[in-house]
Structure 1
Amino acid sequence: MKTYLVTGAAGFIGANYIKYILAKHNDIKVVILDALTYAGNLGTIAKDIDNERCVFIKGDICSRDVVDGLFAEYRFDYVVNFAAESHVDRSIENPQLFLITNILGTQNLLDCARRAWVMGKDEQGYPTWRKGVRYHQVSTDEVYGSLGAEGYFTEATPLCPHSPYSASKTSADMVVMAYHDTYKMPVTITR
């Protein structure tokens, strides 16, 4: 049975993701970590957490003790990070909160996963990873900036954030890629 750590799953997108994977796969376990801030609504996942394959933990992705404790208790195969401060106007009023949660929280998840998933080193000194693990970062199209009247974004579109929110999400994406480049961590990012 594969085990997922899904952060921020009481938010709109995360809640729908939980509903989808639990309905699609009968052979998985999902551990939800959510701080239940202004964007989280436990009611959206109440039926989902009333399920032996789904566990809810109220906690902060920035807490090393909480995240390390979860990695010690569960053998996660995947981390899917939806957790974020995500309201652009709030980011203008309190950018520090966005930087802490979105950047340092992401880095904490990555580091806890790295400690749990690294099995040793290869002949070049790079970490060897437990087979099948993956960290998935859920980002936003806001990292690309404004599109204009026509066109579309692609993966080749340069990152061009214009608010503290989009800058924090861009920074988090860069940290994820740095963990891939530095440690060869298996990662994916969706925007």
Structure 2
Amino acid sequence: MTETVVHVTTLEQWKSVLDVWFTQGYKWNGNNQDSQQGRFKNYYYEGFRDGCRQLSLSDDNSIYFYGRNGYKGKTIEYSEFMAQQKEDNKMAMVYEVSQSVFDELQRIKAHEGTSLIGAIVAHAPFIKFIEIGNKAILRYLADDPAIEFKVKEQLYRLWRVDNAGDKVYMRISGFGTPDWGGAADAFTAPLEEIKKWQTPAWEIEKAN
């Protein structure tokens, strides 16, 4: 059986790969569904939460994941997979920004009362502040269809203060079990998913 197996490292990457396949019309394999118990709905976050990092698309057009990363053949890294999708489908380059940045870009694009160049000059410090690159931003403001901006989904994480008085964040170990560490390793997810992990010891905060 021919299949494409993508290796992901974060929940955001897990969701992005599935978004690509869902858009292309692919569906979950029946073995990864349990409609009677209502588990594994939507993006099957439970699979990632249990330690699975391998998403697969088989030649029969079904999606599934390998429990405990059981696939031993060649996998494609997330970055390589997304680059290939852009090349194959001539996808626009999509940049995710905060709601406030997105709203300001729309105001510059509208350039009410002035020219677009005038609006860009007036907002030059703001444009330079966005960590994407001036070239991509200017192409977007000029309505280049190959550049797209969208609002980044708000993600959350859990934190607490440890015995030493330091702020630590919940993370998921390679075995799919809760652990804690620095902010760089924090488990981030949409609010609904984060709430599943919250206990009286942990507080929720915005991650981005």
Same fold by TM-score, threshold 0.5 exceeded? Answer: no
User: What TM bracket, shorter-length normalisation?
Assistant: under 0.3
Higher helix share: 1
After TM superposition, the score normalised by the length of structure 2 is 0.25
Choose 1 or 2 for highest CA Rg: 2
